[in-house]
Amino acid sequence: MRALMKIRARVGVISAFAVTALLGCGGGGETIKVETVDAAPSKRDYIVAADTICINSEQGIRTEAEIRFKLGADDFTISPTGEVSFKPGRRPSDAEIQRFGERVVVPAFRGQVADLRGLTPPEGDRAAVEAIYAAAERGIDELEADSALFLDSAAVRERLSEARRLGRRYGFFNCGTYSAP
């Protein structure tokens, strides 16, 4: 095993030396320029990557809600429109919901938008996706300014409705839907 590791190390050193020697062989002070290109993804690939970010963020919020509120997955339901309904006796207090919105949801949403902005948009789509993320940030700002909004799923959905509408028009399936207590 040790002999194999020594051989691999020598091959690595020899390879590095060979590459350095080849790059240095240009004569006359020529420089070899290597360009990297950030190829823009297809719209389909971009949507899949963005929706994956949103799904992961949503699942993180949902899991955190289950842990913090000691809820089981069957203790609450989420409608396709984002309305949260609790089984009788399982709804957290208003103060707990507001605190959860402030400490978990808002930071998760901000992280989600930052991750989405980190994706390279498809060629020619930068303005469209920027409008979606700017609308999301405006909604998040409103939620952060008034945590009482988290007491009403419809109010949260309303704050994010422009981002969701723009996102759906663009082609997102999951981004822009709030679905946690």
How would you write the pLDDT of the chain (181 residues) with one tens digit per residue?
444 334 344 334 333 333 333 333 344 445 555 454 567 899 999 999 999 999 998 888 888 888 988 888 788 776 555 567 788 888 899 999 899 899 999 999 999 999 999 999 999 999 999 999 999 999 999 999 999 998 988 898 899 999 999 999 999 988 755 444 4
Is position 153 within any domain?
yes
CA dihedral 133, 135, 139, 144 (to 10 degrees): 50
CA–CA distance, 129 with 163 (Å, rounded to integer): 10
Is position 25 within any domain?
no
CA angle 127–128–131, rounded 5-degree value:
85
Is position 24 within any domain?
no
**Domain, as residue range, for 121:** 43-170
Where on the phi/psi map is residue 42: left (φ > 0), alpha (ψ -120 to 50), or beta? beta
Of 71, 166, 77, residue with least CA distance to 127: 166
Can you give the pLDDT at residue 13? 36
Is position 34 within any domain?
no
User: Which pTM value belongs to this model?
Assistant: 0.72
Is position 20 within any domain?
no
How many structural domains comprise the chain? 1
Tell me 176's DSSP state: T
Is position 14 within any domain?
no
3-state secondary structure of 93: coil
Is position 175 within any domain?
no
Is position 181 within any domain?
no
Tell me 119's DSSP state: S
